[in-house]
Amino acid sequence: MRLPVTPTTTLWRDLRDRVRRQSPAGRVIVAVDGLDGAGKTVFADGLAEVFAETGDAVFRAGIDGFHRPRIERYARGRRSPEGFYLDSYDYPTFRRVLIDPFRDGAQTAAATGFQLAAFDVVRDAPVESQWVTAPLDAVLVVDGIFLNRPQLRDLWDWSIWLDVPFEMAFARMALRDGSDPDPDAPANARYRQGQELYLDEARPREAASVIVDNTDLARPRIVGHG
């Protein structure tokens, strides 16, 4: 079913067309990066839907499906910003069960299975393996924080940075999670400072293919390129 025409869906279709001009066939991986609370999941879901409108085989994954166990995430302390940035996600598993087999499937006629999630952070336990396959031409849309860190950049054919101020991001998280909306609140220090480490080290705005101002969810707009 085709999505209605709105400023948001028009932008999604524009981005889809840009990706397809660069990569008209084969396996394509698109990353949607941004602060926690930037609107990444909804944006990535919509982007996947407009790819599907044109008949693409589309798959969705989030880096949140590849958390590390709690004991590892908090090894540096429950309040550690470094721990949040460095220890939240299991990137080797992410590459091994999703990215690498998705890529490998474009090189062979044999079906290569991949896994869209590996860990349930709420249960703090691995999920039951569910392997899926794709045709030779397929799109994978991945959303999450820290996706343009240096060791991941080579994974993406295209990446989007959703730009919102910290104040807006934490206000949205407060509505979503019941957390403190003040970015400077002590309870938010781990998350704000961890993301500041990422911004300083990785410079994700510069690494992204395109920068989208997502402050107004009803009217996102392209404001730059990496």
Determine the Cα–Cα distance for residues 179 and 188; give it in Å rounded to an integer: 8
**Contact at 8 Å (CB) between 60 and 44?**
yes
Q: What domains can you pick out in the chain, each with its CATH number?
A: 7-224 (3.40.50.300)
Determine the Cα–Cα distance for residues 119 and 94; give it in Å rounded to an integer: 10
DSSP 129-190: P-EE---SSEEEEEE-TTTTSTTTGGG-SEEEEEE--HHHHHHHHHHHH---S-TTSGGGHH
H-helix or E-strand spanning residue 26: none
Examine the pLDDT at 78 and tell me if it is beyond 60. Answer: yes
pLDDT of residue 105: 78
The tens digit of pLDDT for each residue in 14-49 reads 999 999 999 999 999 999 999 999 999 999 999 999
pLDDT of residue 50: 98
Determine the Cα–Cα distance for residues 13 and 140; give it in Å rounded to an integer: 16
pLDDT of residue 169: 94
List helix spans (H) across 23-149: 40-53, 70-73, 81-87, 91-94, 100-104
The 3-state secondary structure of 141-156, one letter per residue:
EEECCCCCCCCCHHHC
Ranking 89-93, 118-122, 141-145, 180-184 by mean pLDDT, the lowest is 180-184
Rounded to a whole number of angstroms, the distance between the first and last alpha carbons of the chain is 33
Determine the Cα–Cα distance for residues 222 and 69; give it in Å rounded to an integer: 36
Global pTM reads 0.95
